[in-house]
Amino acid sequence: MNVKPSVIHTTRAIYAMNWYDISPGLIYVQKAFSLTQVQLGLLLTVFYIGVGIFQIPAGYISTKIGNRNTATIGILGLGIASLVSAASPTYSVLAGTRFFAGIFSAMFFSPAIGTLRSATSDSTYNFHVNFFNGSFNLGAGVGIAGWEVIDRLYNFRTGFLVAGLITIAAAIVYFIALREVDEEKIQLTPTRNLISVLLNRGLWIYAIAGTASVISENVAAQIVVYYMERALGISSGLASISGTLFLVFGFVGGIIGGLMIGKFRNVKVFFILTTTLTSILMIALAFFTNIYAIYAIVSILGAVTVQGFSAIYIIITRSMKEKAQTTSSLSVVNAAQEIPGSIWPSIFSIVSSSAGFFAAWNVIGIVSLAFMFLVFIPPARRRSGSGSSPVETKLSRL
């Protein structure tokens, strides 16, 4: 594999570790600061709020200072935020550092894909997008497993400290290794470019149509362990395996998806297949109670979730009139998915507590499937009758 894409993928995995370095330490954080469960949940919420609200500003910044510089600031800031989290004297300071960790995370993702597009050829880009998304799952899996050991043997502050030092080192390597990547210059001004992307109806359609992947990542991957323990009476050790399988097979699915997607002349078909399967698998969790059946469902779910995200990114980036619009377009897609995506865990919890887990799995699966049908909306026509816009015409053909 080319060194430059390898550096991007590795940094992406390290970036993911910082998303999950807090998860194994929540029980220790709660004890250290005498927190209620609501306060503990807010630590996770403020991070995702930062990730969601800063996606579009991050894309705007990248058009001014470049993808590499923006992503480097993001990964460096994420590392520093982790170090400050390690030294947080109070709960409020820790919550603040997690919020800023979310903001800096937003500055890495889309610019990194923009750099990836510049560092790869058109023939290998599809594969690398899938590998890029799979790398997140690999890093998340390592983060959960590794930090659980560190937090248990030492304390949660040591976990944050180690994560911060590794991430800062990764930022330095990222900046140096990618210094020779030629980034395309966008022809529009940053403001006009952002307006152009925001007005792209096709982009919004695909972002919302891909809700299945968002729900799967934010709900299924997070709650399936609790569901197995609470509803099925499975021990925590056996139940936790399901979370690991989701992440591991997400990485495997990213590689397989990268090899498969090139065989589809129309990426839209690949998107429909993976998104439909994601929805069906979440519904299936309501009907199967055997532990091995759940392991199988969760494993496949992890793989197709990553593939669904990748299909969206490929469709959107290839539809842009300019290659340099990759970052700004994906920043809008991520904002459109992550901001509303943060409410789905709460919706699932409300439905499961009032109507049961069977109803909750069905609700999120059926809603996900319903959103997918948005891709069948025909492209918008110009009022003058001159036909579709160039971008939306490309979207209909992908």
Q: How many Cα atoms occupy the beta-carbon half-sphere of 205 within 13 Å?
A: 19
The pLDDT, as a whole number, for residue 37 is 62
Same domain, 170 and 203: no
**Whether 354 and 381 share a structural domain:** yes
Give the angle 255-333-115 at the CA atoms, nearest 5°.
55
At 107 the pLDDT is 94
C-alpha span between 79 and 167 (Å, rounded)? 5
Lowest mean pLDDT of 93-102, 201-210, 385-394, name the range.
385-394
The band of 42, judged by pLDDT with boundaries at 50, 70 and 90, is confident
pLDDT band at 113 (very low <50, low <70, confident <90, very high): confident
User: Which pLDDT score, from 0 to 100, does residue 380 have?
Assistant: 58
CA within 13 Å, CB half, 113: 33
115-124, 208-217, 331-340: which is most confident = 208-217
Q: Which of 74, 84, 128 is nearest to 259 (CA)?
A: 128
Mean pLDDT is highest, among 7-11, 130-134, 180-184, 196-200, for 7-11
204 and 302 belong to one structural domain: yes
Domain count, the chain: 2
CATH code at position 65: 1.20.1250.20
Distance CA 24, CA 320 (A): 40
Same structural domain for residues 34 and 167? yes
Residues 340-387 have pLDDT tens digits of: 877 787 788 888 888 999 999 999 999 999 999 998 887 555 444 444
The sign of the CA dihedral 38, 41, 47, 51 is negative
* Mean pLDDT score, 266-278: 92
Mean pLDDT for the stretch of residues 56-84: 92
Task: Give me the pLDDT at residue 385, please.
Answer: 44
Report which of residues 109 and 226 the model is more confident about. Answer: 109
- Condensed to tens digits (0 to 9), the pLDDT of residues 278-317 reads 999 999 999 999 999 999 999 999 999 989 988 888 888 7
Does residue 303 share a domain with residue 234?
yes
Give the end of a domain, one of 165, 183, 201. Answer: 183
Residue 58 falls in which region: left (phi positive, over 0), alpha (psi -120 to 50) or beta: alpha
Judgement on whether residues 291 and 173 belong to the same structural domain of the protein: no
How confident is the model at residue 383, as a pLDDT?
Answer: 47
| Residue 171 pLDDT greater than 90, yes or no | yes
pLDDT of the residue at 129: 85
**Which residue in 81, 36, 329, 372 sits closest to 215, CA to CA?**
372
Mean pLDDT of 152-181: 90
Residues 146 and 198 in one domain: no
Average pLDDT along the chain? 84
Q: Quick one: pLDDT at residue 384?
A: 43
Rounded average pLDDT over 69-85? 95
Same domain, 263 and 382: yes
pLDDT(114) > 90: no
pLDDT confidence of residue 210:
92
- Both 85 and 205 in one domain: the answer is no
| pLDDT of 49 | 85
C-alpha 269/C-alpha 50 separation (Å) is 33
Instruction: Give the per-residue pLDDT at 371.
Output: 95
Distance, in Å, from the CA atom of 167 to the CA atom of 212, rounded to the nearest integer, reads: 30
Same-domain check for residues 221 and 167: no
Average pLDDT over residues 87-112: 92
CB atoms within 10 A of CB 250: 29
Identify residue 71 by its one-letter amino acid code. A
CA 8/CA 4 separation, integer angstroms:
6
Are 48 and 172 within one domain?
Answer: yes
Where residue 188 falls among pLDDT bands split at 50, 70, 90? low
How far, in Å, are 100, 110, 272 from residue 269 at the CA level? 38, 24, 5
The mean pLDDT of 125-146, rounded to a whole number, is 82
Other beta carbons within 10 angstroms of residue 249's beta carbon come to 23
pTM of the prediction?
A: 0.77
Residues 6 or more apart whose Cβ sits within 8 Å of residue 99: 46, 47, 49, 50
Count CA atoms within 13 Å of residue 316 on its CB side.
33
Name the one residue in this structure whose structure tokens are 């990426």.
267
171 and 202 together in one domain: no
- If one compares 398 and 160, the residue with the highest pLDDT of the two is 160
Q: Which one has a higher pLDDT value, 41 or 357?
A: 357
Cβ–Cβ < 8 Å for 351, 359 = yes
**pLDDT value for 389:** 47
Question: Which residue type, as a one-letter code, is found at position 137?
Answer: N
In this predicted model, what pLDDT tens digit does every residue of 205-252 receive, in sequence order? 999 999 999 899 878 877 787 788 878 988 877 887 887 888 889 888
Find the farthest-apart pair of alpha carbons in the chain and give their distance in angstroms, rounded: 68
Question: Which range of residues forms the domain containing residue 375?
Answer: 190-398
Task: Say whether pLDDT at 264 is over 50.
Answer: yes
Last residue of one domain, picked from the residues 183, 211, 235: 183
Least confident of 65-69, 73-77, 180-184, 282-286: 180-184
- Last residue of some domain: 139, 160, 183? 183
Of residues 372 and 190, more confidence is placed in 372
